[in-house]
C-alpha cells in the first residue's frame, strides 16, 4: 500500500485531495510538476481496490475529519471505482467533486480516449505503474498463484491481453508488465498515458476558490 499525507493541515486556503492509495505517487508527481504547493494529500488504503463497498463509508469519515481540521476545499481522488454510484452519493452529501470516469484506468488514458477503445478492451487486463510495482503483493500472493500456478487459467483464462498503461518510462516496470503477460499466457500491449486527466483535474480543483 502506498499512501501519503501532508502535515500542513487546518488551512482553509489549501486543497486537500482524499485519494486512493493506488494513485498517491501520481498525485504527488502532478503536484510537483505543476507547482501546486497549496495541495495536500491523504489516502485511503490501496487494497480497497478489491473491496469497493468500503470506499464510500471510509471517504465519508475522511471528509468529516478533514472539515473538522479546517479544510474548506476538498477534492476526491477517486473515480467511481466499482462503487455503483455510492461514491457520488457521498460527494453530493458533502458538496465535493471527484475524478470523472468509472476507474483510474479510464482517467489515466483520458476519458475521450478510453470511451473510444473501451469496447475493444473488454477482454484486457489493465496494469498501471502501481500495479507493476505491487504485482506480487496484489495478484500473485493473494490469489495463491505462487503456490498454485495451475489457477492462472481459472483466474485469467477469459482475458486476451495485458495492457500496461504506463505513467512513466521505467524499463524495470516495463519488464514486470511483460513478464506478467508471459506468466498469464496473454498477449501484451504497452500504452504510455502519462497522468492522463489527473493533471487537468488537479489543476482545475486547485484553481477553484472555496465556496
62 and 118 inside one domain: no
137 and 188 inside one domain: yes
Predicted structure pTM score: 0.89
Query: How many structural domains comprise the chain?
Result: 2
* Torsion sign over Cα 181, 184, 187, 192: negative
Residue 5 lies in a domain: no
Q: What is the pLDDT of residues 72-120, one digit of tens each?
A: 999 999 999 999 999 999 999 999 999 999 999 999 999 999 999 999 9
165 and 130 inside one domain: yes
Residue 83 lies in a domain: yes
What residues make up the domain containing 162?
111-192
Helix, strand, coil share (%) of the chain residues, nearest 5? 50, 15, 35
146 and 201 inside one domain: no
139 and 203 inside one domain: no
Q: What is the pLDDT of residues 172-210, one digit of tens each?
A: 999 999 999 999 999 999 999 999 999 999 999 999 865
Mean pLDDT across the chain, nearest whole number?
92
29 and 84 inside one domain: yes
Question: By C-alpha distance, which of 45, 184, 194 is closest to 125?
Answer: 184
69 and 146 inside one domain: no
Amino acid at each position: 500500500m502506498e499512501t501519503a499525507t501532508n502535515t500542513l493541515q487546518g488551512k482553509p486556503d489549501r486543497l486537500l485531495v482524499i485519494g486512493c492509495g493506488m494513485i498517491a505517487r501520481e498525485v504527488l508527481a502532478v503536484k510537483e510538476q505543476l507547482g501546486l504547493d497549496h495541495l495536500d494529500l491523504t489516502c485511503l488504503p490501496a487494497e480497497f481496490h478489491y473491496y469497493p463497498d468500503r470506499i464510500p463509508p471510509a471517504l465519508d469519515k475522511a471528509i468529516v475529519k478533514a472539515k473538522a481540521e479546517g479544510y474548506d476545499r476538498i477534492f476526491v481522488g477517486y473515480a467511481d471505482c466499482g462503487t455503483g454510484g455510492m461514491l457520488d452519493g457521498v460527494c453530493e452529501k458533502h458538496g465535493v467533486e471527484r475524478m470523472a470516469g468509472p476507474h483510474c484506468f479510464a482517467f489515466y488514458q483520458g476519458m475521450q480516449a478510453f470511451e473510444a477503445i473501451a469496447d475493444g478492451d473488454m477482454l484486457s487486463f489493465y496494469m498501471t505503474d502501481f500495479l507493476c510495482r505491487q504485482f506480487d503483493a496484489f495478484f500473485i500472493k493473494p490469489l495463491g498463484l505462487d503456490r498454485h500456478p495451475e489457477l492462472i487459467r481459472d483466474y485469467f483464462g477469459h482475458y486476451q491481453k495485458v495492457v500496461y498503461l504506463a505513467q512513466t518510462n521505467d524499463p524495470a516496470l516495463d519488464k514486470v508488465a511483460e513478464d506478467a503477460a508471459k506468466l498469464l499466457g496473454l498477449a501484451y500491449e504497452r500504452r504510455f498515458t502519462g497522468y492522463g486527466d489527473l493533471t487537468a483535474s488537479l489543476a482545475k480543483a486547485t484553481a477553484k476558490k472555496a465556496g
